[in-house]
A and B are shown apart, each in its own frame.
Chain A
Amino acid sequence: MAERVVLTVGTKKGLFVAEAGTSRRKFSLRGPFGSGVSVYSATIDQRSSPRIYASSCNAFFGMKVLVSTDLGKKFKTTKSAPAFPEGDGRALANIWSIEPGDNKKELWCGVEPAALFHSDDYGNSWEMVSSISNHPHSRQWHPGAGGLCMHTIVRDGNRIHLGISTGGHYVSEDGGASFHASNNGVGAGFVPDPYPEFGQCVHKIARHPDRPQRLYMQNHGGWEDRPGIGVLRSDDQGRSWTSIADGLPSDFGFPIVVHPQKPDTVYVVPLEPSTRTCPGGAPAVWRSENGGDSWKRRTAGFPKKDSFFTVLRDAMTIDETKSPALYLGTTTGQLWIGRDGGEQWECLYDSLPPINCVKAAVV
């Protein structure tokens, strides 16, 4: 069968799956799955026969993990969702990240309130990872507007990077047995100490697998008195971070995405800090081709005015075709494709429910 591009679109009203040939000229849409329930995280796991996992975050009845073994034609729930152990005192409020582990049955899951879970059986049972979930800092983390969430899990062998809002960036060098805060250069605009040891409102962390020592971070920026802390880069596996926000119209934003073939090419969506919407009502994705040293505004196909959408932390992604396309979902229910690495934008769907997350895979 010819290769296909599959998108998962997690929305406030369930999960949608869009599919197209690798030309990406025409997509077909199916769903919603987990109807009526918010989906904050999905992953398309291609380590063996493709599986799609998605969180199903029911505000009324609790959390589930959805799984599909037929590329999103139908879903069922796994046998259990992550749950805090008896006596812990915390209760699961949301599932923010699901990431594949090393072996095909292994999954990692970041949740709200911020904690990490691990599964060795395709998500049918989960065990809390105490090293970070009960880290001495953990009871001092605070929720941001989205909740106290562990939203980013980036793995490189035994090294695991975590992004927590608001907790900061934590790293394990031993496969999760221990974690330490690693926020040298990561600022915070909402506490007296501009560069605290931990407690930053990290929005997203990304890296290219071929250059694991380099990481990019969209941090909570937009502070007039602490400029430039919102978009950062690390060249030493997250030990230290420096600003790459110079040239952007705002250092506030949520997602940050790396080109699949070019580790120096990175994308952000700057937003007005006060409204979390496109500056001037004119949407733009900004692309750097030199690791954030300079930025170019890409707007072709977007409205020129009167457009005030928001793109959340997991709502932009890029596929891995030879000429990758970006995908961007908005809280006003639009799904956009940015062909040719974000050169030309087109709205694929304009009336979906509010979009939380978008993932892409070539299968």
Chain B
Amino acid sequence: MTIAVRIPEALRAYSGVAGEICLPANSVSAALDALREHYPDLYGSICDETGAIRRHINLFVNRELIARQDCRCANFKLNSGDVLTIWTAVSGG
């Protein structure tokens, strides 16, 4: 089962990964594990060493915001063709 991961512009430049990648995953947690294995720099920009989603990152499945505590929940299933969007709030002065 393949899903798409969309990478925002700010993170593309930082991680060296193109705008969209496809990978097999049946849950958000599995998608993050796949990113860690195949795109470690990108993964490190999304999650810290403890696996927690970084403070300014939000994950959406299609158009639904995933609560931070659910991102690592293996029960948060993905379906083939789902789009996991990584969104960043680069803010401040």
Q: Which residues of A contact B (CB under 8 A)?
A: 58-62, 83-86, 88-92
Residues of B within 8 A of A92 (CB): 48-49
14 further A-B pairs in the complex, CB-CB below 8 A; given A60-B10, A85-B49, A91-B48: A58-B14, A59-B55, A59-B92, A60-B54, A60-B90, A61-B11, A61-B15, A61-B45, A61-B54, A83-B44, A83-B49, A84-B50, A88-B49, A92-B48
Give 1 or 0 for each of B47-79: 1 = CB within 8 Å of chain A CB: 011101011110000000000000000000000
- Total inter-chain residue pairs, C-beta < 8 Å: 42
- B26 beta carbon closer than 8 Å to chain A: no
CA–CA, A84 and B52, complex, Å: 13
Contacting B50 at CB < 8 Å: which of A58, A62, A90? Answer: A90
Residues of A within 8 A of B56 (CB): 59-60
Query: Interface residue tally of chain B, by bracket?
Result: 10 to 19
CA–CA, A91 and B55, complex, Å: 12
Chain A binding site: helix, strand, loop or mixed by DSSP? loop
CA–CA, A61 and B15, complex, Å: 9
CA–CA, A88 and B48, complex, Å: 12
Residues of B within 8 A of A60 (CB): 10, 45, 54, 56-57, 88-90
B54 contacts A90, C-beta separation under 8 Å? no
Knowing A59-B56, A61-B14 are in contact, say whether A89-B48 is a contact too (CB < 8 A). no
Contacting B49 at CB < 8 Å: which of A59, A61, A91? Answer: A91
A86 contacts B45, C-beta separation under 8 Å? no
